[in-house]
Structure formats: structure tokens, C-alpha cells
């Protein structure tokens, strides 16, 4: 059954809210694990568990949104190879750079989320005729979060880099949360 654009937007709203909840919960739980010097294995359990539980609940309750999400994601399959490559680089390059420059982790993760969502928004608009504003909201908040994270990281009041890392994770959570809420309340 064909979904209306509003139904697809709302499905992505739930997806984005799920990402927001999972990232926010994992960020806080990871900080607790760090402060209490838990073994490294706990971080994987925290992150996989946060996403698994959140999306298990969302997709368990709202099963009918899965085809809407899958349908919108298939739009990028029709793009040319070059467009797919550029979009992929926008998502992957900042994350790959974390391996080369781990000290910039908190900024690169915001850059990856920001550039990835920005490029996907622009290409979806141009090549698929879709105006996924929730995606541009996530992109802009993530990109604007980079200077915020830098100010916090370089502040004389903050003596621990972990504050800057959790700040970037919380900013990602906020970005997806705001984008998700927009998608849920949008009229068209």
C-alpha cells in the first residue's frame, strides 16, 4: 500500500525520536560507566542495548512504519553512482577521520551527522523531489553544535574532555529529537 508523504514523514519522525532517545540514554550511561571505571566491554553493551531496546519498542509498537521508512530510503537507490558516492563520503569521511585524528572525535561525529544529513536532504530534494525538512533540521543543529562543543571543550572551566564528548552526544540527541518532533507535528 502506497504511503502518503505525511505518513512517511511521521514514520521518520518516530525513527528520529528513537535515535534521539537511544543516543541520549547511551551518552548518559556511557558517562556513568566512564566515571565508575567500568570495563570497556560495557560501552558496547550500553550502545547496542540502548539502540536495541529503543528500536525494539518503537518497531514493536509501530510495525506499520517500517515499509514507510524502507520506501523513503529506496529513493537514494535511483541516484547516479557519483551522487551516491558523494553522499556516502559526506556520511563516512568524518567518521573515518576519527581513526586518524581521535582527539577531534567529538567534532567529527557532529560533522558526520551534519554533512550526512545535509547531503541526503539536498540530493533527495534534487533527485527525488522530496523536501525532508526534518533531515535539514538535524543537519543544521549538528553543524551548529560544532562551535558549541569547541567552546565547551576549550573553556577554562572544563578540565575534562569527557564533558565535551558527552556534550557532542547530547547535541546529536537534541538534533534528532528536534527533527523528529518537527516530523511528527508537521502539517504536510
What global pTM score does this model have? Answer: 0.92
Judge whether residue 1 has pLDDT over 80.
no
CA-CA distance, 164 to 162, in Å (whole number)?
5
Asked if residue 180 lies in contact with residue 141, where contact means CB atoms within 8 angstroms, the answer is no
Q: In percent, how much of the chain has pLDDT > 90?
A: 71
Judge whether residue 73 has pLDDT over 90.
no
pLDDT bucket at 75, cuts 50 / 70 / 90: confident
The per-residue pLDDT for range 103-159, each reduced to its tens digit, is: 899 999 999 999 999 999 999 999 989 999 999 999 999 999 999 988 888 876 666
Predicted local distance difference test score (pLDDT) of residue 2: 64
Name the residue range of residue 150's domain: 5-185
Count up the domains in the chain and report the number.
1
For residue 52 the three cell numbers come to: 536495541
Judge whether residue 14 has pLDDT over 70.
yes
Asked if residue 134 lies in contact with residue 121, where contact means CB atoms within 8 angstroms, the answer is no
The per-residue pLDDT for range 165-176, each reduced to its tens digit, is: 888 999 999 999
Judge whether residue 23 has pLDDT over 80.
yes
Helix, strand, coil percentages (3-state) for the chain, rounded to 5, are 85, 0, 15
Amino acid at each position: 500500500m502506497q504511503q502518503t508523504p505525511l505518513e512517511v514523514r511521521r514514520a521518520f519522525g518516530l525513527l528520529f525520536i528513537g535515535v534521539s532517545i537511544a543516543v541520549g540514554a547511551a551518552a548518559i550511561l556511557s558517562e556513568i560507566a566512564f566515571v565508575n571505571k567500568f570495563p570497556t566491554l560495557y560501552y558496547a553493551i550500553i550502545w547496542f542495548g540502548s539502540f536495541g531496546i529503543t528500536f525494539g519498542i518503537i518497531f514493536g509498537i509501530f510495525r506499520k512504519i517500517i515499509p514507510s521508512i524502507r520506501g523513503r530510503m529506496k529513493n537514494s537507490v535511483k541516484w547516479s553512482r557519483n551522487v551516491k558516492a558523494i553522499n556516502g563520503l559526506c556520511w563516512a569521511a568524518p567518521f573515518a577521520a576519527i581513526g586518524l585524528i581521535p582527539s577531534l572525535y567529538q567534532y567529527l561525529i557532529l560533522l558526520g551527522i551534519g554533512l550526512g544529513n545535509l547531503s541526503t536532504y539536498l540530493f533527495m530534494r534534487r533527485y527525488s523531489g522530496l523536501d525532508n525538512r526534518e533531515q535539514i533540521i538535524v543537519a543544521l543543529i549538528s553543524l551548529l553544535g560544532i562551535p558549541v562543543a569547541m567552546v565547551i571543550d576549550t573553556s577554562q572551566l572544563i578540565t575534562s574532555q569527557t564533558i565535551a564528548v558527552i556534550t557532542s552526544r547530547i547535541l546529536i540527541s537534541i538534533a534528532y529529537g528536534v527533527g523528529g518532533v518537527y516530523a511528527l507535528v508537521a502539517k504536510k
